[in-house]
Structure 1
Amino acid sequence: MDNTLKKQKETTDSKYIQQHLANERTYLAWVRTCITIMGVGFLITNLHFATLSSSAILGDTLSKIIGLSSIIVGIFALIISTISYFIKGNDINNQTYRSSRILVFYLSISLVLIFLIFGVYYIDVWGIF
């Protein structure tokens, strides 16, 4: 009887506990990454307007673009990582898991664009050239 009770409580998820826990850790890492991306954009925008007294129109605009694009990238990365979490969970249970590269590709391209804008901002506001 003890074996029968044990069999009844076993679920598909319990067969792959290690993989599901790794999937959850990965998802939480993406959540922390999204929060950081949004925080950096917010920080750059606030530092710009709090520390610079000159009215550099291009600098103001670039600062706003950096802040807004960081928030948008963070939100989209969170949405994609949440969808990816559930898809991976199903794939683990069905033993059809395939590595997804779309989130890494999207995030890399988005961050490169934000960093390029930040570079232009830095050149304009701080007068490097």
Structure 2
Amino acid sequence: MNNALEKQKETIDSKYIQQHLANERTYLAWVRTSITIMGVGFLITNLHFSTITSNAKMDDALSKIIGLSSIIAGIFALIISTISYFIKGNDINNQTFKFSRILVVYLSVALSLIFIIFGAYYLDVWGLF
């Protein structure tokens, strides 16, 4: 009788506990990553406007672009990772897991563009641009 009662309480999620916990850890890592991306953009913008005393329009514009693009990249990383988390959860239960490329490609492209803007900003600040 106890064995039958235990079988009734078992859910599809409980069959794949380790995989679901790994999926959750991965999601939380993406959340931390998105917070960090937004924080770096905020930090760069604040440092620029609190330490630079010149009225260089190009520096100001690049600093604002870095801050805004970092926030947008972080928000999109959070949205995509949340969607990916739920899709992976269903795929784990259905044993149809497929490798997801969209989040990795998006983040790589977005951060590359932000780093290029960083480079332009520093070239301009150092007077090389």
TM-score (norm. length: structure 1) = 0.98
Q: Which whole-Å deviations, capped at 9, do the CAs of 1:80-127 have from their partners, x for residues lacking one?
A: 000000000000000000110110000000000000001000000122
Instruction: Calculate the aligned-residue CA RMSD, in Å.
Output: 0.7
Structure 2 CA distance for aligned equivalents of residues 21 and 74 of structure 1: 23
1:1-129 aligned within 5 A: 1-128=1-128
Q: Unpaired runs of 5+ in structure 1?
A: none
Cα displacement (A) at 1:79: 0.2
- 1:26 partner amino acid: T
Structure 1 CA distance for aligned equivalents of residues 128 and 111 of structure 2: 22
Find runs of 4+ consecutive structure 1 residues off by over 6 angstroms. Answer: none
Of all paired residues, the percent bearing the same amino acid is 81
- 1:104 partner amino acid: V
Structure 1 CA distance for aligned equivalents of residues 23 and 39 of structure 2: 24
Size of the aligned set, in residue pairs, is 129
TM-score (norm. length: structure 2) = 0.98
Question: Which secondary structure does the structure 2 equivalent of 1:53 belong to?
Answer: coil
